Amino acid sequence: ERINPGDKLHTIEKILKVTSGSTPDAALQIDDLYKSVITAGTHMAPTIRVAEAAKVIENSQRDINIAFVNELAKIFNKLNINTNDVLAAARTKWNFLPFTPGLVGGHCIGVDPYYLAQKAQSVGYHPEIILAGRRVNDSMGSYVASEVIKLMISKDIILKDAKVLILGFTFKENCPDVRNTKVIDIYNNLTEYSINASVYDPLADPIQVKQEYGISNLTNLSGEKYDAIVLAVAHNEFLKMDLRLISNENTVVYDVKGVLKAGADQTL
């Protein structure tokens, strides 16, 4: 598919497509059809199995790379080193891969590695790196919640009935898609501490959020003051917000993506 939701630069016709078919003739017809609309061109794989394998490893590779920087973020947090500063320095090398830490959800990257792992196991091979990456990324929601809890405790904020606002619920920034979002893990882990957690995402459909996850998505912020604010998804709209309007003098601000200019207690 190679479709990147919310990406205004890499639109469908600008992304080279991998094609194939069940017979040589079918493969040619499919390739010709795609060439007629995809200006970036096509790559005709020799078989459907090859095409599908290419798709699944594209997403698995990205998943593993994000898992690596997520693990680095956990290490650097313990060492009191700013992860973004480290990545900025490392990016000065020409062949460094510029991945950033964060939550990994969606209908592809958070799912495809499991398809590959299951298929590998069915033929007698137990994958290690693929599943290790999945474990790291699947744990990030609970990790963020635990870090927020620690910061609240350090500021003597009483957890029971504390008001926590989660900004963003979609699986990625500037996109309305809530499929397999890992923000729900942050929400669920916080509520285990009897915290009064709220979600605000102007891009997500409140009806869909309620139907799929059983929680409410606020339609507006009515001047409520929160004990903690978690910037979970870096929507452009959030970057323009003045968080002081919904904060008190002791509010914890946790910036998952490290995009706030200053003032966040912690970032990944």
Reported as a single tens digit per residue, the pLDDT across 96-148 is 999 999 999 988 888 999 999 999 999 999 999 999 999 999 999 999 999 99
- Classify residue 147: in a domain, yes or no: yes
- Are 149 and 253 found together in one domain? yes
> Does residue 11 have a pLDDT over 90?
no
> Which 3-state string (H, E, C) describes the chain?
CCCCCCCCCCCHHHCCEEECCCCHHHHHHHHHHHHCCCCCCEEECCCHHHHHHHHHHHHHHHHHHHHHHHHHHHHHHHCCCCHHHHHHHHCCCCCCCCCCCCCCCCCCCCCHHHHHHHHHHHCCCCCCHHHHHHHHHHCHHHHHHHHHHHHHHHCCCCCCCCEEEEECCCCCCCCCCCCCCCHHHHHHHHHCCCCEEEEECCCCCHHHHHHHHCCCEECCCCCCCEEEEEECCCCHHHHCCCHHHHEEEEEEEEECCCCCCCCCCEEC
How many Å separate Cα 146 from the centre of its chain? 18
- Are 89 and 155 found together in one domain? no
* Among 93, 110, 137, residue at a domain's last position: 137
- Classify residue 5: in a domain, yes or no: no
- Are 31 and 150 found together in one domain? no
Closest CA to 251 of 151, 119, 109, 132: 151
- Are 195 and 235 found together in one domain? yes
- Classify residue 1: in a domain, yes or no: no
- Are 64 and 118 found together in one domain? yes
Spatial contact of 204 and 232, defined as CB atoms under 8 Å apart: no
Predicted local distance difference test score (pLDDT) of residue 223:
79
Across residues 4-33, what is the average pLDDT? 91
- Are 130 and 193 found together in one domain? no
What pLDDT digit, counting tens, does each position of 144-185 carry? 999 999 999 999 999 999 999 999 999 999 999 999 999 999
More confident residue, 13 or 6: 13
Catalytic residues: 108
- Are 105 and 144 found together in one domain? no
Predicted local distance difference test score (pLDDT) of residue 52:
95
What pLDDT digit, counting tens, does each position of 37-79 carry? 999 999 999 999 999 999 999 999 999 999 999 999 999 999 9
Predicted local distance difference test score (pLDDT) of residue 30:
96
- Are 159 and 178 found together in one domain? yes
- Are 195 and 262 found together in one domain? yes
Residue type, 154: S
- Are 131 and 179 found together in one domain? no
- Are 72 and 164 found together in one domain? no
The domain spanning residue 218 has which CATH number?
3.40.50.720
- Classify residue 27: in a domain, yes or no: yes
pLDDT-above-90 percentage for the chain: 85
Predicted local distance difference test score (pLDDT) of residue 263:
57
- Classify residue 151: in a domain, yes or no: yes
Domains in the chain, number:
3
> Does residue 268 have a pLDDT over 70?
no
Residue range(s) defining the domain that contains residue 36 = 12-46
- Classify residue 149: in a domain, yes or no: yes
Give the confidence band of 27 by pLDDT, cuts at 50, 70, 90: very high
